[in-house]
Structure formats: structure tokens, C-alpha cells
Amino acid sequence: MLETGMRAPDFTLIDKDGKAVSLSDFLGRKVVVYFYPKDNTPGCTRQACAFAAAYAQFKARKVEIIGISKDSTASHLKFAQKYELPFVLLSDPDLQAIQAYGVWQEKKLYGKVSMGVVRSAFVIDEQGRIEKALYKVKPDTNAAEILAYLTEE
């Protein structure tokens, strides 16, 4: 598990528009990286829409938002267009970042055990260090919780 003060694992993934994006591209800026299970599912849609609704407040604090799932770039493009998501969505089909951040974990649903993405978020500071790590976050309150944290600073 990643903890406060640790260097955030760098990654290079493809965004919804087919462009390579690296975490290191954002050095000098604060970034929220959030991991979610799947585009167009109820919880993930609520979480993404909450980040979209608060996007202007994040931008006012000079904070970038990056959402990552193992969905394809085509899926991300449709998801972003459908819900007018203004932030970066990255595709991680090989689980490069998902595993580096420790969010690929065993999950239990209706007694069935499987591996999947545990909804998590990380506030990464301007130097590329983990400022705050949040695991097993709730989709409806995640964006507001991070915004509240950033406001307290």
C-alpha cells in the first residue's frame, strides 16, 4: 500500500484521445489520480460526474484530475462524451498503474471472490509524492472528500 510521503509510481498510459500521458508530465502541479472499476457502471458514473461537477473548484486550486481504469480508450471516449467529463481518463488494460498503486485486489461480491480494481484515490503533490492516499472510497463522496481536504491545507 502506498502511504503519505512515498514517491508516486510514474506511469505512461493512453488517454481517451489516443495520446500518451505520463504522471511525470504533471510535475510542478498537484494531481488527483483516482482508480475506478469500469466505465458506465452506476457507481463509477456517479464518481466521475461528481469530479466533473467539482472540476472548476479543483482547477481554481490548480489541481489536475486523472481517472484510470482498465477500460479501452474507445470506452473512455464514449464515457467522457456521454457525461461531458472535462478531465483526463487513462486506459490501463495491462494493469501497469493499477498494480503499481496497489489497487488490484481480491474482491468479494455475493460470496464470489474475484480480482478487481478497488476504488481508490491519491493526492499527489507538486514533487510527485503521495500527499494523501484513500482506499475503498465511496463514489458519491470521493470528490467532495478530496476537495474538503484540499481546502483545509
Residue span of the structural domain in which 103 resides = 12-148
Query: What cell numbers appear for 109 in the block?
Result: 461480491
d(CA 7, CA 122): 12
Total structural domains in the chain? 1
Indicate which CATH number applies to the domain containing 47. Answer: 3.40.30.10
Q: Are strands 20-22 and 30-35 parallel, antiparallel or unpaired?
A: unpaired
Residue 153 has pLDDT above 80, yes or no: no
> Is there a domain that residue 2 lies in?
no
Q: Are strands 30-35 and 120-124 parallel, antiparallel or unpaired?
A: antiparallel
**pLDDT for the residue 107:** 86
pTM over 0.85: yes
d(CA 70, CA 92): 4
Residue numbers annotated as active site: 44
**21-35 confidence digits (pLDDT tens):** 999 999 999 999 999
**79-116 confidence digits (pLDDT tens):** 999 999 999 999 999 999 999 999 999 988 788 899 99
DSSP labels, 83-121 = HT--SEEEE-TT-HHHHHTT-EEEEEETTEEEEEEPPEE
